[in-house]
Structure 1
Amino acid sequence: MSKRMMHLVAYLKTGPTAVHGGGWRHPEARLDDILEPERYEHIARELEAACFDACFFADLLGLYDIHKGSLDSYVKYGGQISYLDPMTVLPIMARATSRLGLGATLSTTFFNAYHLARALGSLDVLSKGRVAWNIVTSATDLEAQNFGFEQILPREVRYDHADEVLEACLALWNSWDADAFVQNKQQGVYADPSKVHYANYKGRWVSTRGPLSIPRSPQGHPVLMQAGSSERGRRFAARWAELIFTAHGSLAAMQAFYTDIKGRRAHEGREPEDCKILVQTTVVVAETDAIAREKAEYLNTLAHQELTLAMSSSNVGADLSKLTGDATLADLQGNQGIQGSVDFLKVKAQASGMDFKTTAQQALPDQIVGTAQGVADQLQALFEARACDGFVVSPIYHPGSHEAFCRSVVPELQRRGLFRTQYSGHTLRDNLKD
């Protein structure tokens, strides 16, 4: 049996900020190239040189205005905004690389199955099998209103609907056999029609005739990525996900989630090891522990508390400025919010002894701070404790956070034999099997 290897995926945004609201204010943060192709080509090359499995773009179909019913905090203080559609950026990154996986966040609620299958399938073919689909059902009314609905669907319905979208997409991706092309000029036969199939999918909400016009990619279809932490989200993940992105506030919570998902996979008749669970992590690395701590403290002073609370409000789907008196979180949420974000803040509140709102106002991402050796120690401990199969590395500022991780922490992980020194496969799915 081959040695278990760590997997690394980079979290990206097409905007100034990722999960840390103050990173764009760092003196070394690049702001002048957010709308330039070179920004995305550069970070793709850096990540591929470090042998990252993949990168993916988080996305929202609108501007957050949950906090105080206004978008002011996000716009004024540089919140997590997508200034560009990631599906327009990923082809640029595909051209700059040959092995790095490329992930897009797309909603099953607002995009129909044929559109999803066609767009993702095209990019998967052009990148030679390196695409991942971060599957979301969406969690905010503002997105629903951008697509002509008053509010988001109930949680259970969203996932039931998403199941059908996935079934339909897979039927469409399987429209073409791998050997459908003949391309015989002498016989005048371009492709074998017996190897092109109708999908003929019909569910309660979703139907599609097919066949898809896009031929099969080298990896068959995009890698399926997901981040649901609710009970229904976990059931969805156990059925579909090959890559899970999660965040938990304690080692015990990480281990419990890991064990639960792997067990659910087995119950579904799927190989547990074919689903990689990656924990979100933010790293501040420097030459010494003291310098790293000073750097982290400085970075954290750059985050505006108003934006931090607004970001927490957006994640939990409730205006936390109104969390006073008799108002409960459930009352303020309605049908919105991400359960994993709620759970994360509850764990943080319990550990700190602060109330939920105060915790949310100070909820900067947990950070692993230290030298390359010290950071690698902590990542290795989590990995070997079966808390995860690897990490989603979220930057504080661009491009310095990812560059420092790639150039100092990755070589240390490689020296310990925990991470690849070269890619073993050509497709993302192949590389996830390491």
Structure 2
Amino acid sequence: MPERRPLLYGLYEQACVGNGSGAVSLWTHPSDERLNATGLQYWLDLARRTEEAGFDLFFFGDVLGLYDTYGGSAATALEWGVEIPAHDPLLHIPALAAVTEHLAFGATVSTTYEHPFAHARRFSTLDHLTAGRVAWNVVTSYLPGAARNFGLDVVAHDTRYDRADEFLDVAYGLWEGSWEDGAYLGSKERRRFADPSKVHRIDHDGAQFQVAGPHLSIPSPQRTPVIVQAGWSARGREFAARHAELVFVGESEPAKIREGLDDIRRRAAEFGRDPSEIRAVVGLNPVLASTPIAVQEKIDDLQSYYSAEAQLAAYAGWSGIDFTRYRDDEPLVKQETNHTQIAGARPDTPPLPAGEVRERFSRVTAFADDRFIGTPDAVAAEVERFVDESGVDGFLLHQFVSPGSLNDFTELLVPRLRERGLFGGFPTGGTFRSRLRSDRSDRLAADHPAARWRRGGNENAPNA
């Protein structure tokens, strides 16, 4: 077995109260602090705790609409606070970067309803303000309500990725091709801010976007933020193979994860990229206590504050399947939707009676996968087995109760993980990209599609 790289650990969050981590109703737990998530102090405290715990990444998910598929209404989502209020995570990052030194920040931004020119400016600003500690989770929006919020119809799943490909090409042009190396001077002695001969328009004229440029920001520490991709459909894997540096895995079974990552890396090689430079993380929902009895007591406690209706509303929004339209004895119809292509929504998923699905949702859904539920020694052993079987490069911790779940992970599990060489060792200095890359470079590799925009020694750069 090849030598294992140091694992990356991140905390998954959303700038909301009902975090979409598998138990959206647990903000009602007495020890949970998510009702304070509309204020800055909650986030400052959480970011400090995350860095002190030795984590590498603070990752924000995001949505642009209400979950209104369940029962054809947003009523359940509003009643239970399902992924709302959906505040803008980009506005949190500068404040959190100011109270941390090493923690990197990932933010989810959709290519479906954004414009690449404004987007590129925002991320260059973030990259400057964080000293290169920022990553962009590239997503395409699936919620019908989000489309209506922008006065548009829902875009078909694969068509959204076509738009995303062009969106990224425009952004790459602005980040990598608009300002040459050496264009920014900042010289008081020479009384010159920049060399205008090295600042260029990109003059993109495509099917979706027309962007002249030049970019309004001087080159930031990474130029292009670290590119994260969370799609797991066939089209999503193709997109990841072309663009992603870090993949957020949309699967939970180790064998299927390894198969999917092998597929992504095979496709990346076909695009001319070094597949070994693509890393992958997967969600982790642990329940930890010192004894098996204490573990069961904690599960029972969490279960008592769980709402199946809230979770069904969340799942309906993700999958596009409205469970209220099915009788208990009626099988869920195999279907593809324009929502996320997740397990249960894909046509290769065996049909289940709607009643069985509802029964599964009567308990916290993450409890169905009990490999990360138990005493610290038992869970640490399962983490090691999972890494070896799946080939993932790290985990994103999803909290049931905030900050209690993070505290349990830090105090109970991290010491056991360290003993097994499963925590620590991931680089802490420099830009986030330099920590991910084997050559410790701040810049995207020359085999990445963004590199075609580079000028100066690159005869293939547009308008060179």
Quick check: TM above 0.5? yes
Q: 1:267 maps to which residue? A: 270
Deviation at 1:358, TM superposition (A): 4.5
Deviation at 1:348, TM superposition (A): 9.7
Q: 1:158 maps to which residue? A: 160
**1:112 to 2:115 alignment:** yes
- Give 1:235-384 correspondences, 5 Å limit: 235-324=238-327, 329=333, 335-342=337-344, 355-356=356-357, 358-359=359-360, 364-365=365-366, 366=369, 368-384=372-388
Deviation at 1:289, TM superposition (A): 2.8
- Whole-Å separation in 1 of the counterparts to 2:345 and 2:284: 16
User: Does 1 or 2 have the higher relative contact order (CA < 8 Å, sep 6+)?
Assistant: 1
Q: Give secondary structure in 2 for the equivalent of 1:340.
A: coil
Q: 1:96 maps to which residue? A: 99
CA-to-aligned-CA distance 1:123-177 (integer Å, 9 cap, x gap): 111101111111111112111100011x211112111111000011011111223
> Is the contact made by 2:284 and 2:396 (CA closer than 8 Å) also made in structure 1?
yes
CA-to-aligned-CA distance 1:366-392 (integer Å, 9 cap, x gap): 451122222221111111223411112
Q: 2:447 maps to which residue? A: none
Deviation at 1:188, TM superposition (A): 1.5
> Is the contact made by 2:68 and 2:74 (CA closer than 8 Å) also made in structure 1?
yes
Deviation at 1:236, TM superposition (A): 0.6
- Whole-Å separation in 2 of the counterparts to 1:370 and 1:300: 16
> Is the contact made by 2:332 and 2:354 (CA closer than 8 Å) also made in structure 1?
no
Q: 1:4 maps to which residue? A: 5
**1:386 to 2:387 alignment:** no
Deviation at 1:341, TM superposition (A): 4.4
* 1:135/1:361 CA distance change after superposition, 3 Å: farther
CA RMSD of aligned residues (A): 2.6
> Is the contact made by 1:223 and 1:242 (CA closer than 8 Å) also made in structure 2?
yes
Out of 52, 55, 60, the residue aligned to residue 57 of structure 1 is: 60
Deviation at 1:61, TM superposition (A): 0.7
> Is the contact made by 1:17 and 1:396 (CA closer than 8 Å) also made in structure 2?
no
CA-to-aligned-CA distance 1:292-351 (integer Å, 9 cap, x gap): 2321232123211111211110110231211348896466x7x4311124369987987x
Q: 2:190 maps to which residue? A: 187
* 1:330/1:347 CA distance change after superposition, 3 Å: closer
What one-letter code is carried by the residue in structure 1 that aligns with 2:401?
A: Y
> Is the contact made by 1:130 and 1:428 (CA closer than 8 Å) also made in structure 2?
yes
What one-letter code is carried by the residue in structure 2 that aligns with 1:51?
A: G
- Whole-Å separation in 1 of the counterparts to 2:197 and 2:416: 52
Q: Give secondary structure in 2 for the equivalent of 1:109.
A: coil
Q: 1:85 maps to which residue? A: 88
> Is the contact made by 1:286 and 1:371 (CA closer than 8 Å) also made in structure 2?
yes
> Is the contact made by 2:11 and 2:57 (CA closer than 8 Å) also made in structure 1?
yes
Q: 1:402 maps to which residue? A: 406
Unmatched 5+ residue regions in structure 2? 439-464
Deviation at 1:2, TM superposition (A): 7.1
- Whole-Å separation in 1 of the counterparts to 2:388 and 2:330: 44
What one-letter code is carried by the residue in structure 2 that aligns with 1:8?
A: Y
* 1:357/1:339 CA distance change after superposition, 3 Å: farther
- Which stretch shifts more, 413-422 or 161-170? 413-422
> Is the contact made by 1:345 and 1:356 (CA closer than 8 Å) also made in structure 2?
no
Divergent runs of 4+, >6 A: 344-350
* 1:181/1:10 CA distance change after superposition, 3 Å: same
What one-letter code is carried by the residue in structure 2 that aligns with 1:418?
A: L
Deviation at 1:403, TM superposition (A): 2.2
Q: 1:137 maps to which residue? A: 140
- Whole-Å separation in 2 of the counterparts to 1:266 and 1:361: 43
> Is the contact made by 1:249 and 1:347 (CA closer than 8 Å) also made in structure 2?
no
- Whole-Å separation in 1 of the counterparts to 2:83 and 2:286: 18
TM-score for the superposition, normalised by structure 2: 0.86
- Whole-Å separation in 2 of the counterparts to 1:113 and 1:79: 29
> Is the contact made by 1:125 and 1:217 (CA closer than 8 Å) also made in structure 2?
yes
> Is the contact made by 1:9 and 1:52 (CA closer than 8 Å) also made in structure 2?
yes
* 1:247/1:183 CA distance change after superposition, 3 Å: closer
- Whole-Å separation in 2 of the counterparts to 1:83 and 1:153: 21
